[in-house]
């Protein structure tokens, strides 16, 4: 039976529409700060309670709002930016559709205090659940102050989907820092629970704003980038190839000072770094693209995070070529960027690292045709128990098989990365990094049932991080302690690392902390504590594992293979890539057209 079509009541329609603009507290912070910037503010203050989940207060010294216009602020599609449709393609401000304030007011309680510059008296307005409760004269400074409370009080379904307080605070700080990066001429200040967590004074030196927002480590290793193509200009900074992160979320793009997300531009950045940074690592960068407003459509996304370029290929080429050119110039003045993989590893598993030149004069026969001694894989009671556990877990293993090396001949390393074996069933290739990752991950998970043993650092290490990442760590310090990583928040923009997990004694604390930050702020993953812990374990294992392009001795290979045999789920690495590839004799013969 078909249902009749009805027109939704205004209150329901407004709450549904608000969902496109106000997703979480960070959405409110973003919209209100953009309004302050549009009002010509030179100073913006943000105050959050419980990470923005309880209340948000934004204060600016902008132009303020005329008393006669205050009531219109909360009317949908009330705007001073557009008079005719064509004006959309000439808009240079943030807000222009008149949706932000009505959307916020429909899901929260809004108290507005504003005074037009030059006016003797201000205005106070209170709006709750989309209904204006009060508009009265009031005394207040020039500018605008907006206090938001009871967020999602009337939409409990939306409220229950909010993340933990530290995560919401981090997302609010992310919104703040994105705008702070683009407007160094504006003073920004943020408080959380009455404690200052971010301060960025006015500055003409863009590198000072970058240091305040992106952290000292990035600012100390960034390279300026600039370029121009026809009517498109590019400026900004990109990280030195030695400074990398585990995802692309630290690449910021702005079009006419509006923050955007654009996968094609991310790809343009990565194409410039091809072959000079390790696989699955990403640079950091801040890029500003300036072009005529009529050449970009900013009205293609409800939150205006995506845009459409008139000449997208020109923008892509400009970004890729400018970065590649600057990296080449930096390399010529400071030395080659040829990536040299770290030779540090967990010596408790593999043993001391050997340098490639140690083997330069060794005969090839030293590494070929050696059968693993039977005692290496001799089945002791401990290994027998491990094998029983592996057999029980085979049903959950998608491949249904476990890697075994009994009876194989070790032929050597191919490309100093893959271990080559031969046997009755054919040839076996093992990815040494992937294999060691799985070994370390399973050990961490096994010991992680209790607090992992820590190793105190001789000298505590200070790691500089952006404010939004500091906010994240403040909510996960207990979790880090459980995995053997003792850290404390050090000021507004740094962590001090006092101890590392003993099993990862060879890993770099700074790289690990940055990668953990990327894992914690990844909202595409489940937010359950156990899954976050397993993601961190995978990151730790990746850092501690032996690397590609690393020479291993016969004894080290034997130890690695013995540990791999005793490891459950040993057919894939923590990222799901295969650890081994097998070629049967018949497959090889077919390749040579013998069959």
Residue found under tokens 């026809």 = 230
407-418: per-residue pLDDT in tens? 788 888 888 889
What is the domain-level CATH number for residue 216? 3.30.230.10
Q: Which domain holds residue 496?
A: 452-544
User: In the listed set 202, 223, 244, which residue is the last one of a domain according to the structure?
Assistant: 202
Residues 90 and 192 in one domain: yes
Q: Residue 521 has what pLDDT?
A: 72
Helices (H), 134-284: 156-159, 165-182, 206-214, 216-219, 263-272
Q: Residue 344 has what pLDDT?
A: 38
pLDDT over 80 at 186, yes or no: yes
Q: Is 360 helix (H, G, I), strand (E, B) or coil?
A: coil
What is the domain-level CATH number for residue 502? 3.30.1370.100
Residues 43 and 181 in one domain: yes
Residues 149 and 175 in one domain: yes
Number of domains present in the structure of the chain: 4
Phi, psi of 141 (to 5 degrees): -70, 165
CA distance linking residue 193 with residue 50, whole number of Å = 7
Residue 491 makes CB contacts below 8 A (sequence gap 6+) with none
CA distance linking residue 52 with residue 108, whole number of Å = 12
Spatial CA neighbour of 314 closest among 223, 230, 388, 420? 230
Confidence of residue 339 (pLDDT cuts 50, 70, 90): very low
DSSP string over 123-157: EEEEEETTEEEEEEEE---SEEEEEEESTTTT-HH
User: Of residues 88 and 328, which shows the higher confidence score?
Assistant: 328
Q: Tell me if 240 sits within 8 A of 222, measured CB to CB.
A: yes
Structure token digits, residue 171 = 């997302």
pLDDT over 50 at 529, yes or no: yes
Q: Tell me if 198 sits within 8 A of 283, measured CB to CB.
A: no
CA distance linking residue 331 with residue 317, whole number of Å = 21
What does the chain come to in residues?
595
Residues 288 and 148 in one domain: no
Report pTM: 0.73
Cα dihedral 256/257/259/260 (nearest 10): 10
Residues 52 and 123 in one domain: yes
| Least trusted range by pLDDT, from 111-125, 403-417, 497-511 | 497-511
Average pLDDT, the chain: 79
Residues 143 and 15 in one domain: yes
Residues 294 and 410 in one domain: no
Residues 401 and 523 in one domain: no
29: in domain: yes
226-252: per-residue pLDDT in tens? 999 989 999 999 999 888 888 888 999
Residues 320 and 413 in one domain: no
What is the domain-level CATH number for residue 126? 3.30.565.10
Residues 92 and 190 in one domain: yes
Residues 506 and 407 in one domain: no
Residues 309 and 215 in one domain: yes
180: in domain: yes
Residue found under tokens 């605070």 = 169
Residue 487 makes CB contacts below 8 A (sequence gap 6+) with 473, 477, 480, 481, 495, 496, 497, 498, 513
116-158: per-residue pLDDT in tens? 988 889 999 999 888 889 999 998 999 999 999 999 887 877 7
Q: Tell me if 138 sits within 8 A of 122, measured CB to CB.
A: yes
Confidence of residue 14 (pLDDT cuts 50, 70, 90): low
Q: Residue 314 has what pLDDT?
A: 92
């Amino acid at each position: 039976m078909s249902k009749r079509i009805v027109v939704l009541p205004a209150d329901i329609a407004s709450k549904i529409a608000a969902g496109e603009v106000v997703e979480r507290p960070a959405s409110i912070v973003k919209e209100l700060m953009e309004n302050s910037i549009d009002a010509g503010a030179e100073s913006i203050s943000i105050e959050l309670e419980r990470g923005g989940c309880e209340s948000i207060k934004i204060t600016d010294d902008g132009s303020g709002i005329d008393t006669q216009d205050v009531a219109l602020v909360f009317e949908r599609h009330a705007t001073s930016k557009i008079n005719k449709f064509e004006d959309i393609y000439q808009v240079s401000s943030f807000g222009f559709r008149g949706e932000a304030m009505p959307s916020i007011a429909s899901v929260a309680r809004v108290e507005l205090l504003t005074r037009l510059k030059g006016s003797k008296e201000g205005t106070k307005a209170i709006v709750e659940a989309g209904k204006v409760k009060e508009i009265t004269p009031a005394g207040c400074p020039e500018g605008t102050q907006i206090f938001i409370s009871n967020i999602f009080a009337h939409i409990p379904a939306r409220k229950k989907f909010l993340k933990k307080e530290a995560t919401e605070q981090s997302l609010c700080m992310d919104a703040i820092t994105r705008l702070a990066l683009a407007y160094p001429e504006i003073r920004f200040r943020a408080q959380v629970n009455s404690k200052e967590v971010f301060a960025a004074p006015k500055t003409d030196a863009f590198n000072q704003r970058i240091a305040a927002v992106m952290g000292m480590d990035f600012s100390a290793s960034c390279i300026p980038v600039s370029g121009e193509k026809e009517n498109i200009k590019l400026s900004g900074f990109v990280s030195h190839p030695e400074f990398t992160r585990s995802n692309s979320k630290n690449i910021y793009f702005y079009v006419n000072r509006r923050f955007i997300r654009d996968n094609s531009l991310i790809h343009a950045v990565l194409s410039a770094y091809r072959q000079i940074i390790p696989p699955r690592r990403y640079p950091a960068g801040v890029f500003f693209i300036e072009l005529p407003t009529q050449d970009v459509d900013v009205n293609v996304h409800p939150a205006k995070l995506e845009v459409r370029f008139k000449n997208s290929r020109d923008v892509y080429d400009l970004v890729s070529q400018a970065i590649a050119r600057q990296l080449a110039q930096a390399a010529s003045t400071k030395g080659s960027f040829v990536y040299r993989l770290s030779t540090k590893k967990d010596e408790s598993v593999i043993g001391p690292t050997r340098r490639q030149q140690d083997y330069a004069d060794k005969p090839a026969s030293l590494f070929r045709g050696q059968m693993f001694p039977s005692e290496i894989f001799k089945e002791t009671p401990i290994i027998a128990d491990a094998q029983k556990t592996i057999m029980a877990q085979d049903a959950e293993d998608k491949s249904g098989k476990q890697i075994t090396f009994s009876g194989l001949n070790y032929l050597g390393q191919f490309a100093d990365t893959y271990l080559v074996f031969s046997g009755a069933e054919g040839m076996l290739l093992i990815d040494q990094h992937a294999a060691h990752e799985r070994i370390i991950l399973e050990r961490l998970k096994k010991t992680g049932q209790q607090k992992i043993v820590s190793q105190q650092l001789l000298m505590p290490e200070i790691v500089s991080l952006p404010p939004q990442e500091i906010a994240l760590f403040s909510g996960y310090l207990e979790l880090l302690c459980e995995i053997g990583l003792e850290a404390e928040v050090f000021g507004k923009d740094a962590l001090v690392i006092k101890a590392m997990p003993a099993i990862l004694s060879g890993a770099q604390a700074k790289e690990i902390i940055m990668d953990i930050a990327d894992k914690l702020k990844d909202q595409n993953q489940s937010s359950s504590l156990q899954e976050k812990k397993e993601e961190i374990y995978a990151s730790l294992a990746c850092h501690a594992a032996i690397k590609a392009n690393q020479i291993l001795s016969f004894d080290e290979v034997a130890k690695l293979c013995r540990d791999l045999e005793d490891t459950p789920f040993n057919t894939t690495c923590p990222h799901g890539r295969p650890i081994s590839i097998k070629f049967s004799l018949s497959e090889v013969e077919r390749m040579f057209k013998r069959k």
